[in-house]
Structure 1
């Protein structure tokens, strides 16, 4: 579909049709429908006439799936495992960041309480 091997940038839109996603990701619509069955993270909204509308994060996910399958040579099961590993790593990073933010907030709270004590004297 796309000559040169590079994918076009994803436009700043809220929803994309299956045809648009196919062009953006260089994947045929029937492949996208199959991937929906295989990858539970991929769940486009369906509207009138069962038409699919993908959101930006789903287009990014489709590009990642395409990369795993077509460029890195993973099987469907291997790609599923890799995506699950990535999501677990991301959740650990988010939890670590939240803990760090909480500790930072605690130190700010302690400093503010010390300032209030000084000002109240």
Structure 2
């Protein structure tokens, strides 16, 4: 299980599974489902897999959604401003949008190592 995001400590940890329903993502990101559907239209970075008229999000989608939420709700960005932030910050470097996923993974591995060392 990935730990909670240090920049958004009020959000729960992201479980280590491959796909999440829109309801699960809504709970994990503290964002209503209709907002998630709207953000999908506004941000090309959110790319859920669609099967049988259902959305299935992956961990990187959740990380991006949390980043969008932080930009809009905590840092005061508009939708256009957040879109530009993604274009300038992450669009220039293809792998940049996965940096937060990597950070989350490192935190998780450090916690596992700590647990193994303490024997708990």
TM-score norm. by structure 2 comes to: 0.68
Q: Is 1:74 paired with 2:85?
A: no
Size of the aligned set, in residue pairs, is 88
1:37-87, Cα deviation, whole Å (9 max, x unpaired): 000111211111x10000110000000000000000100000001111221
- Structure 2 equivalent of residue 21 of structure 1: 25
Q: Where does structure 1 lack aligned partners over 5 or more consecutive residues? A: 94-121
| Pairing of 1:1-121 with structure 2 (within 5 A) | 6-48=10-52, 50-88=53-91, 90-91=93-94
For residues 14 and 71 of structure 2, the distance between their equivalents in structure 1, rounded to whole angstroms, comes to 19
For residues 92 and 26 of structure 1, the distance between their equivalents in structure 2, rounded to whole angstroms, comes to 26
TM-score norm. by structure 1 comes to: 0.68
Per the TM alignment, residue 88 of structure 1 is displaced from its structure 2 partner at its CA by: 3.8
Which structure: larger Rg?
Answer: 1
Give 1 or 2: higher strand fraction.
Answer: 1
For residues 78 and 56 of structure 1, the distance between their equivalents in structure 2, rounded to whole angstroms, comes to 24
